[in-house]
Structure 1
Amino acid sequence: MPDDRVEVEEEPVSETRLSLTADCGSCFGLCCVALPFTASADFAINKEAGKPCRNLREDFGCGIHTQLRQKGFNGCTVYDCFGAGQHLSQGTFGGTDWRREPKSAQQMFEVFPVMRQLHELLWYLNEALTLAPAKPVHADLRELLARTEALTGGSAEELARLDVPGHRQQVNLLLLRTSELVRAQVPGKKRNRRGADLIGAKLRKAELRGADLRGAYLIAADLTGADLRDADLIGADLRDAQLAGADLTGAFFLTQPQVNAAKGDPSTRLPGRLTRPAHW
């Protein structure tokens, strides 16, 4: 059966007016304040939600940005807000930061995770619209994308009241259908490892083309030389997964944070929309 899927080897054309790429220079360091840290392999310190990280500068930049991994802040290097930070800072709150307007701080920090989830959903919906086999649901995808973007334009009060899990479920149902349509174009039997516990699994050179790996735990799994073409990787945990020589060409619903958390090398093949991490 011919694979008529559009290879996503170039930056997908965005259907939304919003930027889904983080612009830290236009953000008030929200991920460095709003989110909690727990001392672990990902963070060198404990930090409460709403408390500024000790490395946050007065200009909202990171004082150890070029040394995050060396200083024990690996978690920061694999985080992406999908553009939610600058949208909230410059749009929702009109460019007034929480230091100049302390009364807005708590509300700003509370709705940041909401905006981040909406932007992540926009990312998935945009990608789904680049997939040719999903054409039967493109109209539904565009409608849901427009609704999601409209939600991001709400006030801080409206964002705080938003039923994010309910909206996310609607999006997920459509993304599931998209996945089924795309993977159906892949010849041969496809593996279903959705939500599977594959922590530390030995999957060297595994044939996983067109596999359903949604939400799979692939922490520290050995995927050296594995064939992951056209696999659905939405929500898969790839922390410390070995991707040396793996082929992820056409893998979909794969995000930059997932790639950043894994371990690859120059021979790892990635979809063109993603950037090869510097630490590889």
Structure 2
Amino acid sequence: MPGKLETRSDCSRCAALCCIAYPSDEMPGFSARKQAGEACPKLDACGLCSIYATRGRDGFGGCIQFECFGAGQHVVQTLFGGKDWRDDPALLRPMAESFLALRKCFDLLYLVDYARGLGPNGDERSVLDGIETELTEMAASAQTASDSARLRSVEARLRPVLARLHPAPA
């Protein structure tokens, strides 16, 4: 089985996939208008953010708050072996599609890590271990990571553990 997956983004090991994959109307806090799969107009010719230092002041607060939970660097570093669409434009679409496919999987991995921090008992740890193993296996390819029925099943097993560990306020 592969090692533990990261559940925090590392933009230095990604390829600005969040700046490409999502349409602006689905992402609050983004001032640029763009379609899904289209590069943000604030990416420069090298594919780097041209307003990184001023993005909050420029109306891109969503860029500051966005967290992919490691999906971006996993796509670039693991699924594409460190290759980057900025060097090979033909990779843009498959990388963006892979990123979108993996997002739910990495969101759930983050929640597993969060639940572990809440002090689960032995049975809960066992459930979390099983879920993490399954999600790690799913993250091995965009095809398996996009299996929505399987992701719903994983989420259904995770929800009761989270509810016990972090009950909703009354």
Common fold by TM > 0.5: yes
1:101 deviates by 2.3
Q: Does 1:211 align with 2:151?
A: no
1:39 deviates by 9.6
Partner deviation per Cα, 1:3-61 (whole Å, 9 max, x = no partner): xxxxxxxxxxxxx6222111111111111111111399722221011111111134433
The aligned amino acid for 1:136 is D
Measured at CA, do residues 40 and 128 of structure 1 come closer, stay the same or move farther in structure 2, by a change above 3 Å?
closer
The aligned amino acid for 1:175 is L
Partner in structure 2 of residue 8 of structure 1: none
Contact 1:128 1:134 in 2 (8 A): no
Partner in structure 1 of residue 60 of structure 2: 73
1:77 and 1:134 mapped to 2: Cα distance? 35
Partner in structure 2 of residue 123 of structure 1: 110
RMSD (Å), alpha carbons: 2.4
Larger helix percent: 2
Q: Mean Cα displacement is larger for which, 103-112 or 22-31?
A: 103-112
Pick from 112, 119, 123 the counterpart of residue 136 of structure 1: 123
TM-score normalised by L of structure 2: 0.85
1:18 and 1:105 mapped to 2: Cα distance? 23
Q: Any gaps of 5 or more consecutive residues in structure 1?
A: 1-15, 185-209, 213-280
- The answer to which structure, 1 or 2, has the higher relative contact order (CA under 8 A, 6+ apart) is 2
Pick from 151, 162, 170 the counterpart of residue 153 of structure 2: 170
1:82 and 1:41 mapped to 2: Cα distance? 18
The aligned amino acid for 1:163 is D
Partner in structure 2 of residue 109 of structure 1: 96
What percent identity do the matched residue pairs reach?
30
Structure 1 runs of 4+ aligned residues shifted over 6 Å read: none
